[in-house]
Amino acid sequence: MTNSITEHSIREVIVKDISLYINGQFVPAKTGETFTNVNPFSNEHINNIAAGDIEDINEAVTSAKKAFDNEWKNLEISERMKYINKIADLIEEEAEEIAYLEALDTGLPISQTRSQAARAATNFRFYAKMVETHLHGQAFPVEKEFINYTLHRPLGVVGLITPWNAPFMLETWKVAPALATGNTVILKPAELSPLTANKLAEIIDKAGLPKGVFNIVHGFGDTAGDALVKHPDVKAISFTGETVTGSIIIKNAADSLKKTSMELGGKSPLIIFDDADLDRALDATIWGIFSFNGERCTSNSRVFVHKKIKDEFIEKLKERVANIRIGDPLDASTELGPLIETQHFNKVKGYIELAKEEGCEVFQGTVPEQFKAGNYVPPTLLLNATNDMRVCQEEIFGPVMAVIEFEQEEEVIAVANDVKYGLAGFVWTQDLTRGHRVAQAIEAGMIWINSHNTRDLRIPFGGTKASGIGREGGHYAIFEFYTEPTVIHVAIGDHHIPQFGKKS
């Protein structure tokens, strides 16, 4: 079964086999090995991908180090930003093809991959502006004796390791600040979603960046990813993915004392009080769990509904769930597509079976017969859930939401926090005093009041507890992660210097 290509502008795209991108060249893996890339809509083969390993990582690091030392770190900021803005221009020009490739590769609906492509271009523009206008140091005058000032210098070669759930946006969210601040990059994209990473390599190649500044090594986590994490010349690893993988990476990065940034899993609560604007809360709840096919780190996979409005809200949820448009990811009207791969599909279906065993009533939409070859899990509500169930504690990462009743504010805060994760939280109430109070009590890195998960590039993005260490975004990316503060102490007077050994 092939996808229906609905837009004229994407009919011409021919998907070829994919190479690594090292030192400005598209090259095969040194072992000659490849792996297959599969379409989640049909489970048919799309193309073959070069399987990079330790030798490819070594070569990429050597070229990135050379590019850093010889050219990139010394480039005037205005020159560097020309490249960064050029990448943004090219992403905009090729946005439709990027959206198509991403939908084909991941099963994400094309209406959503289009907005992700636009956001990717914005990531480059934002960091170009940010570095030009805000990457400055501080000065600390000390009486009439010193002036001490700080510089924020790039780290050198950085390794970026990314997941498959919003691949192009997440890759650019790391690549843009890393390059803009003057680092050189090795990207190890997720093995399940290589198409748009390769497109990024083509775009960067077209933008004419100096050889070795940007490199991609496709391959598996325990080979290419592992070698990148352990390489002594890689100064930092920015990782987005599962919590268990993050923990392995921190351990492996320790021997070479690398800086790491961890954006990990989530099991985020959405709390709806009885005075909330129910229609807006309903829109946000549905979008928050069923967009990105439910494969979203900040999804509201646990919704806590006040007892007084629970029955009414559940009726509304059921009506929406039954009507969500399940379809071909390449069809612009599709709201929910297939999950990334069969293994993940089986995992999510396993959790739905577990929910029944744990005592939930399961309510689902229906997958149309013609889509049975794909990894489709219908939108699913787990009703009568309690927070202690495994389905409420473990990240399912699919279109599955547990609905839990509550009565008291203190009670809902306690159960919302009774989970190992702490990425996001959402509060719906017309009582803003309560809204702030509850938001401030939720143990998470990011909380929204009366809002769905909107994005502000300037904020610190990330989680607490098992959802991460460190933050991405805005000032945090450029000051706290991708640069190193250096202090220069300058004597401006004859301050006292002890004179050991001097004859008095």
Looking at beta carbons only, is 188 or 235 nearer to ligand NAD? 188
Question: Judged by CB under 6 A, which of 85, 165, 261, 387 binds ligand NAD?
Answer: 165
The position carrying tokens 């009565």 is: 407
Query: Where in 46-105 is the site for ligand NAD (CB under 6 A)?
Result: none
Query: Where in 399-458 is the site for ligand NAD (CB under 6 A)?
Result: 423
Looking at beta carbons only, is 56 or 395 nearer to ligand NAD? 395
Bridge partners, residue 405, by sequence:
305
Q: Are 264 and 285 in contact (CB under 8 A)?
A: no
Joined together, the tokens standing for residue 223 give 């080979």
Query: Where in 371-400 is the site for ligand NAD (CB under 6 A)?
Result: 395, 397
Question: Judged by CB under 6 A, which of 85, 112, 183, 245 binds ligand NAD?
Answer: 245
Q: CB 185 → ligand NAD: shortest distance, Å?
A: 15
Binding mask 466-485 for ligand NAD (x = CB under 6 A): -xx-----------------
Rounded to 5 degrees, φ, ψ at 211 are -55, 135
Question: Judged by CB under 6 A, which of 161, 201, 207, 392 binds ligand NAD?
Answer: 161
Amino acid at 222: D
Looking at beta carbons only, is 282 or 401 nearer to ligand NAD? 401
Question: Judged by CB under 6 A, which of 24, 109, 212, 241 binds ligand NAD?
Answer: 241
Q: Closest Cα partner for 71 from 59, 83, 87?
A: 83
The position carrying tokens 């009506």 is: 319
Looking at beta carbons only, is 46 or 297 nearer to ligand NAD? 297
Question: Judged by CB under 6 A, which of 188, 302, 310, 465 binds ligand NAD?
Answer: 188
Q: Are 159 and 224 in contact (CB under 8 A)?
A: no
Looking at beta carbons only, is 53 or 191 nearer to ligand NAD? 191
Stretch that binds ligand NAD, among 198-206, 210-218, 236-244, 315-323 (CB under 6 A): 236-244
Terminal-to-terminal C-alpha distance of the chain: 94
Q: CB 225 → ligand NAD: shortest distance, Å?
A: 2
Q: Closest Cα partner for 61 from 182, 203, 230, 193?
A: 230
Q: Closest Cα partner for 434 from 457, 413, 454?
A: 413
Query: Where in 284-323 is the site for ligand NAD (CB under 6 A)?
Result: 297
Binding mask 247-276 for ligand NAD (x = CB under 6 A): -xx-------------xxxx----------
Question: Judged by CB under 6 A, which of 126, 164, 304, 351 binds ligand NAD?
Answer: 164
Question: Judged by CB under 6 A, which of 107, 221, 288, 327 binds ligand NAD?
Answer: 221
| Residue 294: DSSP 8-state | G
Q: CB 258 → ligand NAD: shortest distance, Å?
A: 12
165/247 Cα distance (integer angstroms) = 19
- Please, which residues have CB within 8 angstroms of residue 73's CB and are 6 or more apart in sequence? 153, 154, 156, 182
Count CB-CB contacts under 10 A for residue 451.
Answer: 12
CB closest to ligand NAD, residue no:
221
Stretch that binds ligand NAD, among 18-26, 136-144, 217-225, 307-315 (CB under 6 A): 217-225
318/427 Cα distance (integer angstroms) = 21
Stretch that binds ligand NAD, among 53-61, 161-169, 322-330, 489-497 (CB under 6 A): 161-169
Q: Are 148 and 142 in contact (CB under 8 A)?
A: yes
56/54 Cα distance (integer angstroms) = 5
The position carrying tokens 């004419």 is: 208
Beta-strand ranges (E) seen in 252-294 are 259-263, 269-272
Is 225 among the residues that bind ligand NAD (CB under 6 A)?
yes
Joined together, the tokens standing for residue 321 give 């769930």
Q: Closest Cα partner for 189 from 164, 213, 208?
A: 164
Residues that are catalytic: 263, 297
Number of chain residues interacting with ligand NAD (CB under 6 A): 32
Looking at beta carbons only, is 17 or 222 nearer to ligand NAD? 222
Q: CB 65 → ligand NAD: shortest distance, Å?
A: 20
Looking at beta carbons only, is 125 or 174 nearer to ligand NAD? 174
Burial (CB count within 10 angstroms: exposed 0-12, middle 13-18, buried 19+), residue 32:
exposed
Question: Judged by CB under 6 A, which of 109, 156, 163, 212 binds ligand NAD?
Answer: 163
Q: Are 194 and 101 in contact (CB under 8 A)?
A: no
Q: Are 401 and 381 in contact (CB under 8 A)?
A: yes
Binding residues (CB under 6 A) for ligand NAD: these are: 161-165, 170, 188, 190-191, 220-222, 225-226, 229, 240-242, 245, 248-249, 263-266, 297, 395, 397, 423, 463, 467-468
